[in-house]
Amino acid sequence: MKGIRKILILFILLSTLEGQSQKVLVHDTIHTSDSGIFFLPYKKVFNPEVDLIEDSPILRALDSLANIKFFQDYYFTADASLTNVYQFPGDFIPVYSDSVYQQRIENMKQNSPIDYTFNCYVKDYIELYAVKKRQLTQRLLGLSYIYFPLFEGMLDKYELPLELKYLAVIESALNPIAGSRAGAKGLWQFMYGTGKVYGLKATSLVDDRFDPYLSTDAACRHLKDLYDLYEDWFLVLAAYNSGVGNVNKAIRRAGGTKNYWAIWPYLPAETRGYVPAFIAASYIMQYAPEHNLYPLHPGILYNGIDTVVVREPVSFDQISEVLGVPIEDIKFLNPSYKLGIIPVAKDQKYYLQLPREFIGDFINNEYTIYNYTTTKGIEKEKLLKQIKNIHEQQIHIVRSGESLSSIARKYHCSVSDIKKWNNLKSNTVKAGKRLIIYSGTSSIASTSSSNNNQTTDTKPEISNSSTNKEQHPNYHIVKRGETLSQISIKYNCTINELISWNNLKGYNIQVNQRLLIHPPAAKNDSASSEINKQVKYRYYTVKEGDTLWDIAQQFDGVTVDEIKKLNNLRSNRISVGQKLKIKVIN
CATH number for the domain spanning 554: value is 3.10.350.10
- pLDDT confidence of 82, banded at 50, 70, 90? low
Give yes or no for residue 194 having a pLDDT over 80: yes
Residue that terminates a domain, selected from 387, 416, 442: 387
Buried b (16+ CB within 10 A) or exposed e, 446-483: beebbeebbeeeebeeeeebbeebbeebbebebeeebb
Identify the pLDDT of residue 445.
33
Q: Please, which pLDDT band fits residue 62 given cuts at 50, 70 and 90?
A: low
pLDDT at 520 over 50: yes
**Looking at residue 583, what is its pLDDT?**
79
Tell me if 47 is assigned to some domain: no
Domain closes at, from 531, 548, 576: 531
Specify the range with the lowest mean pLDDT, choosing from 52-56, 146-150, 574-578.
Answer: 52-56
pLDDT of residue 28: 30
Note whether 362 and 411 are same-domain residues.
no
Please indicate, yes or no, if residue 266 is contained in any of the structural domains. yes
Above 50 in pLDDT, residue 440?
A: no
Q: 142 exposed, middle or buried (CB, 10 Å; 0-12, 13-18, 19+)?
A: buried
Same domain, 257 and 189: yes
> Which of 226-235, 471-480, 502-511 has the highest mean predicted lDDT (pLDDT)?
226-235
Q: Higher-confidence residue: 8 or 76?
A: 76
pLDDT score recorded for residue 48: 43
Say how far apart CA 484 and CA 337 lie, in whole Å.
27
Number of domains in the chain: 4
The answer to whether 59 touches 128, Cβ cutoff 8 Å, is yes
- Identify any residues that bridge with 77 across adjacent strands, giving them in sequence order: 296
User: Averaged over 421-427, what is the pLDDT?
Assistant: 79
* Confidence band, pLDDT 50/70/90 cuts, at residue 333: very high
Q: How many whole angstroms separate alpha carbon 526 and alpha carbon 500?
A: 21
Structural domain includes residue 92:
yes
- The average confidence (pLDDT) of the chain is 76
Alpha-carbon radius of gyration of the chain: 32
Last residue of a domain, one of 387, 414, 441: 387
Query: Has residue 24 been placed in a domain?
Result: no
pLDDT band at 439 (very low <50, low <70, confident <90, very high): low
Distance of CA 575 to the CA centre of its chain: 46
Same domain, 349 and 472: no
Q: How confident is the model at residue 61 (pLDDT cuts 50, 70, 90)?
A: low
For the ranges 21-25, 327-331, 373-377, which has the lowest average pLDDT? Answer: 21-25
pLDDT of residue 457: 34
For residues 437 and 392, is the Cβ–Cβ distance under 8 A?
Answer: no
**What's the Cα-to-Cα distance from 40 to each of 100, 185, 287, rounded to whole Å?**
14, 34, 21
For position 110, what pLDDT does the model report?
95
Return d(Cα 187, Cα 167) in angstroms, integer.
9
Residues 6+ apart with CB under 8 A from 432: 397, 398
Q: What pLDDT, on the 0 to 100 scale, is given for residue 125?
A: 93
Q: Which residues pair with 579 in a beta bridge?
A: 541
Whether 378 is covered by a domain: the verdict is: yes
Comparing 223-232, 361-370, 471-480, the range with the smallest average pLDDT is 471-480
Half-sphere exposure in the Cβ direction for 132 (13 Å, CA): 12
Q: Write down the pLDDT at residue 124.
A: 92
**What count of Cα atoms within 13 Å lies in the side-chain half-sphere of residue 17?**
6
Please report the pLDDT score of residue 51 as a whole number: 56
Lowest mean pLDDT among 131-145, 340-354, 391-405: 391-405
pLDDT at 585: 63
Do 269 and 382 lie in a common domain? no
Q: What percent of the chain has pLDDT over 70?
A: 71
Contact between 282 and 324 (Cβ < 8 Å): no
At residue 475, the 3 state secondary structure works out as strand
Cα–Cα distance measured from residue 273 to residue 269, given in angstroms and rounded to the nearest whole number: 7
pLDDT at 298 over 50: yes
Q: Specify the DSSP class assigned to residue 236.
A: H
Based on the fold, state whether residues 456 and 474 are members of the same structural domain: no
**Domain shared by 525 and 538, yes or no:** no
Sequence letter at residue 207 = D
Residues 118 and 148 in one domain: yes
Q: Which pLDDT band, with edges at 50, 70 and 90, does 38 fall under?
A: very low
pLDDT tens digits, 268-294: 988 899 999 999 999 999 999 999 998
In this prediction, residue 169 has a pLDDT band, given cuts at 50, 70 and 90, of: very high
Q: Is residue 44 part of a domain?
A: no
Q: Is the pLDDT of residue 357 over 60?
A: yes
Distance (Å, whole) CA 333 – CA 68: 12
Domain co-membership, 543 together with 476: no
Residue 27 lies in a domain: no
Q: pLDDT grade, residue 68 (50/70/90)?
A: low
Residues 120 and 232 in one domain: yes
CB 395 within 8 A of CB 422: no
Same domain? For 337 and 272 the reply is no
pLDDT at 332 over 50: yes
Residue 544 and residue 515 in contact, taking contact as beta carbons nearer than 8 Å? no
Q: Please give the pLDDT value at position 396.
A: 87
Position 3 pLDDT exceeds 70: no
- Give the model's pLDDT for residue 55: 55
Task: Say yes or no: 78 and 178 in one domain.
Answer: yes
Q: Tell me the residue range of the domain where 374 lies.
A: 302-387
Query: In the predicted model, is pLDDT for residue 4 greater than 80?
Result: no
In this model, does residue 516 exceed pLDDT 60?
yes
Report the Cα–Cα distance between both ends of the chain, in Å, rounded: 115
Q: Could you tell me the pLDDT band of residue 438, with boundaries at 50, 70 and 90? A: low
Is 32 inside a domain boundary? no
Residue 577 pLDDT? 80
| Residue 219 clears pLDDT 60, i.e. is over it | yes
pLDDT at 299 over 80: no
pLDDT confidence of 262, banded at 50, 70, 90?
very high
pLDDT attached to residue 60: 65
Average pLDDT of span 313-318? 90
Q: Given this model, what pLDDT does residue 560 score?
A: 78
**Span 335-350, average pLDDT:** 86
- Domain match, 363 and 503 both: no
Backbone angles phi, psi at 540, to 5 degrees: -120, 130
Give the pLDDT score at 489: 67
